[in-house]
Amino acid sequence: MAFWNIDLTTQDGAEGAAQNGGLACFIAAGLTVLGIAMLVATYQGAPAPLLGGIAGVASETVIFTVAGFRLRAGKGVIWGGVAALLLVIEMVTKLITMTGIGGVVINLVLLAVMINGVRGALALKRGDLDVDQVAKVFD
């Protein structure tokens, strides 16, 4: 099944979507750590702006990591929403500055999976999922 086509009517589908959203958050956190490393390696200037940039990107890393753990637990609607919003802001910034166009494509895929993860967590929170729906496949 494609990552943009999820089944939120069953318990397994909603849990799978939430867990995939958590994985996307962990990938985004890893990419921000890579961004910090690239920022430190390529920066040539006064240390104050560098420390400000590192602090900003490190806060993104923390938000993505917490959202990943919460979504993997089947919760995290708010944390996942904040992480998705951060990804949208990052994509808009990349498009405005015309830097990292390839990163926009990666972020777009991660955003789709994160949004589906938030939808899965919402479906789990509502609790109106049919657990017996999965067993009907084998009837």
Domain assignment present for residue 23? The answer is yes
Domain count, the chain: 1
Taking residues 79-93, what's their average pLDDT? 91
What is the sign of the dihedral through the CA atoms of 16, 10, 117 and 125? negative
Residue 134, domain member (yes or no) = no
Is there a domain that residue 131 lies in? no
In the block, residue with structure tokens 């994509």? 91
In a domain, 6, yes or no: no
pLDDT tens digits along 117-137 = 998 888 888 876 665 655 555
What pLDDT, on the 0 to 100 scale, is given for residue 61? 93
Over residues 29-84, the pLDDT tens digits come to 999 999 888 888 887 878 777 888 888 888 999 999 999 999 998 888 899 999 99
3-state SS assignment for residue 21: helix
* φ/ψ bin of 86: left (φ > 0), alpha (ψ from -120 to 50), beta (otherwise): alpha
Query: Is 5 inside a domain boundary?
Result: no
Mean pLDDT of the chain: 84
Indicate whether 15 belongs to any domain.
yes
d(CA 115, CA 16): 13
Range of the domain at 38: 11-125
Is residue 133 included in any domain, yes or no? no
- 139 located within any domain: no
Read off the pLDDT of residues 94-115 as tens digits, 9 standing for 90 and up: 888 887 788 888 889 999 999 9
Q: Per the structure block, which two tokens stand in for 10?
A: 């069953």
Distance CA 28, CA 61 (A): 8
